[in-house]
Amino acid sequence: MTTNTAPPRVLTVAGSDSGGGAGIQADLKAMLALGVHGMSVITAVTAQNSLGVQGYWELPADAVRAQYRSVVDDIGVQAIKTGMLASIELVETVSGLLADAPAPVVVDPVGVSKHGDALLAAEAVATVRERLLPVATLVTPNLHEVTQLTGRTVTDESGMLDAAKALHELGPRWVLVKGGHLEGEAADLLLGPAGETHWYRAPRHDNRHTHGTGCTLASAIAAQLAKGQDMPEAVSNAKAYVTGAIAHGFALGSGIGPVDHFW
């Protein structure tokens, strides 16, 4: 009997996007494209399409806990990524589970979708700050999420560095501040455990079909970590992957289409 070697295993703890562009669906596609075995703990189900999020329903905390235990206790994981966590109760549940995570944890601190739909209750932001960030190996906020988490408004690269330092003090080992919403080049800043900085720069693509960008980047980083890359290398490779996925993003429905995971 042949026994084939299993690929590295990566777990996403996130919400479902019925339109297939973001959330769990984007995570699993990115993982497939990058050669790892993707697994999921679903936290919430969204009714969603290219026009926005029409509604969402959280899963009970017990269901989230049970999915996590099923996967981690038997199959095992080499990296974990979190996305939409919706409520205080689910942020607390997931933070508790991840406190003794067996693998690096990439936290995408999802707050609001590109269309402005809230994916995290406003009152849960403090719980993300106080419970989830301390168990993160890496946190990957965009500039809106930086403002939500730190109260800072970032308008330039020196502001990105100050914000990264403020986030670092909340407990994550690494911080990646994504500057994609600033004018000009798309620059991201990685701040490491010893205060080291790495800037990642990519040309900006004039493409409005960018749904799922944040989910895809965090999953791609988790996939590269699971393959054994160190953090700066994992971020560099994940950023190159997402830059291509954005360049190939395509129209679906009448609104904002998804990035292309298989470009």
Question: Interface residues with ligand PLP (CB under 6 A)?
Answer: 14-15, 17, 22-23, 46, 48, 83-84, 108, 110, 113-114, 119, 211-215
CA distance 255 to 253: 6
**Cβ proximity to ligand PLP, 120 vs 234, nearer residue:** 120
Sign of CA dihedral 179, 185, 186, 190: negative
Contacts of 158 (CB under 8 A, 6+ apart): none
Smallest separation (angstroms) from ligand PLP to the CB of 215: 5
Phi, psi of 177 (to 5 degrees): -90, 120
Cβ neighbours around 4 below 10 Å, total: 5
CA distance 112 to 122: 10
CA distance 53 to 45: 10
**Cβ proximity to ligand PLP, 125 vs 161, nearer residue:** 125
Contact yes or no for 171/130 (Cβ under 8 A): no
**Cβ proximity to ligand PLP, 22 vs 90, nearer residue:** 22
Contact yes or no for 140/106 (Cβ under 8 A): yes
| Half-sphere CA count of 169, side-chain side, radius 13 A | 7
Work out the burial of residue 254: count CB atoms within 10 Å of its CB; fewer than 13 is exposed, 13-18 middle, 19 or more buried: exposed
Cβ neighbours around 230 below 10 Å, total: 10
The token pair that represents 59 in the structure block: 């899963």
* DSSP codes of every residue in 94-114: HHHHHTT-SS-EEE----B-T
**Cβ proximity to ligand PLP, 71 vs 107, nearer residue:** 107
**Cβ proximity to ligand PLP, 172 vs 214, nearer residue:** 214
- Which residue of the chain is nearest ligand PLP when measured via CB? 23
- Annotated catalytic residues are 178, 210, 212-215
**Cβ proximity to ligand PLP, 108 vs 188, nearer residue:** 108
